[in-house]
Structure 1
Amino acid sequence: MNLEQCESRYFVSYSGVKLPLKLVNELQDSDRENRNTFFRGYFDAEQRLLRCEKLVYGEIELLHDYQYHDNGVLSQADITDADGELTSLRFDAEGKPLG
């Protein structure tokens, strides 16, 4: 994934528990100046979320990297928590979890 070719936008939070996360309440650059915590999302040309970073005081506290099947359904989610622990989840072409 080449993030330099992706559009990045900032958000207050996310909604729901299903992956990929749904980022909500988009922030403008000026809105981030007084916030300590926010989310940065990287989107491809089809506006699919490829990466989600939770930023706390400028440091990445939580990281989600997403990959998609050709039909647009999530195929893999790599989640790195605040302790650096990586969890990889895989999904079939219908979005059902694999093993």
Structure 2
Amino acid sequence: MSDTLRYFLTYRGAGLPLTLTEELAEADLRHRNTWFEARYNGAGQLVAIDKRVYGDIEMQHRYDYDADGRLWRATVTLGEDEPVVRTF
């Protein structure tokens, strides 16, 4: 199965993976300055988030899951900072 790309306005909560809310259609992006691009794998797991501001990537999240489908690693990059890796 291939990855699926979806778009969102914002997220809620502080846990990982982020809970994205207010889904946007791709056509809606023409009228937005900021949005989140979310990539889901074939199993429906959220594997990547890019926060876009005026088209540039301001924040990245990458998620890895174990064989049972549980989150085991999250890599978060903010701007030009070094990535922060959390394992669970």
What percent of counterpart residues are identical? 37
Larger relative strand fraction: 2
Question: 2-side partners of 1:84 and 1:6: how far apart?
Answer: 27
- The higher relative CO (CA closer than 8 Å, separation ≥ 6) is in 2
Does residue 66 of structure 1 match 2:75? no
| CA RMSD in angstroms, aligned pairs only | 0.9
Q: Which runs of 5+ in 2 are unaligned?
A: none
1:70, distance to aligned residue in structure 2 (A): 1.3
- For each residue in 1:14-36, what CA deviation from the matched residue of structure 2 results, as whole angstroms up to 9, or x when unmatched? 11110000111110022111100
Question: 1-side partners of 2:75 and 2:27: how far apart?
Answer: 31
Q: Which has the larger Rg? A: 1
2:79 matched residue in structure 1: 82
Q: Which runs of 5+ in 1 are unaligned?
A: 92-99
State the TM-score, normalized to the length of structure 1.
Answer: 0.84
State the TM-score, normalized to the length of structure 2.
Answer: 0.93
1:27 to 24, 29, 39: 24
Residue-pair matches, total: 87
